[in-house]
Structures are given as structure tokens and as C-alpha cells.
Amino acid sequence: MNVISNSSPLIALSCIDQLIILKQMFKSIVIPDAVYRETVILNQYEPQRTRIQVASETFIKVIKPNVHHLFTRNLGDGEKGVIDLGIEQQPDIVLLDDKKARNEAVSLGLIPAFTTDIIKRAVKIGLLASYQDAIDELTVQEIYLPESS
């Protein structure tokens, strides 16, 4: 499976030192340059900044979208980049936690997934021991994720 990710999944997984599950779960992980800027260049929080930077040097590919589309919703630069790349590359899923971005992605034929969906799947296939432990660890670090329906 190929995936394009927004910032929030990278930040959340880096906070619990589990970015590696993306590599273990997906054939290809791509982020737009705007997400790299948000999560590495502008990110002041360690160790998440360094963890994301190392991942982007080893198994996460940073790509600048060729075309920038006009969107019907007001989205952040990272979300726009994810959807732009999604339209160009047609990945299996796009990782988006923001409701407006998810709705925009769906309206353009993309399949969004929540970070919590990735954590649940990681537990199901044995990459993580416990969904609740991961969520509790994120909560301790004041990372709150929307739940899938």
C-alpha cells in the first residue's frame, strides 16, 4: 500500500517513538514539502523533530506537488499538499485527521484514514501491543486524536 501523510500522524507517531510502523505497514510513505516544513524545519519540539527528520532521510519520501489545486474548503498548507499529491499519485490512502481536509479529500476521490486507524491496524497485525496504551501515551504528551467512526 502507498500512503501520503499530513503532519498530525507524523507528530503523533513520533511522540510515542513509533514512526517505524509506517515503514512496516506501507510500501511507500510520501509527504509533501509543506508537511516536511511543518514537522521538521518549523518544529521546535524534540525529539519528535529529529525523529521525523531521520525518517524523512531513510524511509519517508518528501515530494513537492507539481500542481496546486483550488479547494472548496479553507485548508492548511500541509493538508493542501497532501491532497495535491493525492490527486497526482493516487495513493491507497491519505493520512488526514482534520475533518475539513478529510471531506475535501473524499470529494476528490481520495480515501482518508485517521492516525487512530493506523494505530488500530498496527495493533491488529502485531506491531503495537495495545491501542489504549498508545492513546494513553499520546494523551500524557497532550496529543489528542480524532477517532474513526
All domains in the chain, ordered by first residue: 2-140 (3.40.50.1010)
Cis amide bond preceding 91, omega within 30: no
What three-state secondary structure class fits 98?
coil
Nearest in space to 34 (alpha carbons), one of 23, 43, 26, 25: 43
What DSSP element (H or E) covers 136?
helix 131-140
pLDDT at 148: 73
What three-state secondary structure class fits 99?
helix
Supply the pTM of this predicted model. Answer: 0.94
Percent of all residues in the chain with a pLDDT value above 90, rounded to a whole number: 94
**DSSP structure class, residue 12:** H
DSSP per-residue letters across 30-96: EEEHHHHIIIIIS---TTHHHHHHHHHHHTEEEE--S-----SS---HHHHHHHHHHHHH--SEEE-
Partners of 95 in beta bridges: 5, 113
Positive or negative, the Cα torsion across 148, 55, 78, 61? Answer: negative
**Position 49 pLDDT exceeds 80:** yes
**DSSP structure class, residue 146:** P
The predicted-structure confidence for 64-104, as pLDDT tens digits, reads as follows 999 899 898 899 999 999 999 999 999 999 999 999 999 99
